[in-house]
Amino acid sequence: MRRSADRLGMRSLGMGIALGMVALIRPVSAGGLETIQPVLRACFSTGDPTRCDQALDLTEQLQRRAARADRYPCQTLLLGLQADVVMVQLSQGRGERVFDTLQASARACRGL
């Protein structure tokens, strides 16, 4: 009986740790593009894996919001930003051209 209780305690502990890790992975929800631009700029400028992971997650949230709002030009540009983030993660970034996409996205996604 004691052994089952120990396993249950360990299982609960493991689930708590897993849930805590999920909270660490997704600490921020996407506001508008203006609120996630600093993370995108940091990813594009430095290639920092943590910033790029966060940028990819936030941009995904925002492009889904654009899809739900039928803002397809905005959604398309956000998908392009996501591709730019992935290319940076693969060390195949487009250099300064990514900032053109970011600027175009800001115009198309205004008010989202």
Same domain, 63 and 83: yes
Same domain, 56 and 70: yes
Mean pLDDT computed over every residue of the chain = 81
For 28-73, the pLDDT digits (tens) are 456 788 889 999 999 999 999 999 999 999 999 999 999 999 999 9
Return the structure tokens found at 74: 């905005």
Residue numbers of the domain that contains 22: 1-28
List Cα–Cα distances, 20 to 4, 14, 25, in angstroms.
Answer: 24, 10, 9
Q: Rounded to an integer, what distance in angstroms lies between the CA atom of residue 16 and that of residue 22?
A: 10
Same domain, 14 and 48: no
Q: Rounded to an integer, what distance in angstroms lies between the CA atom of residue 73 and that of residue 110?
A: 11
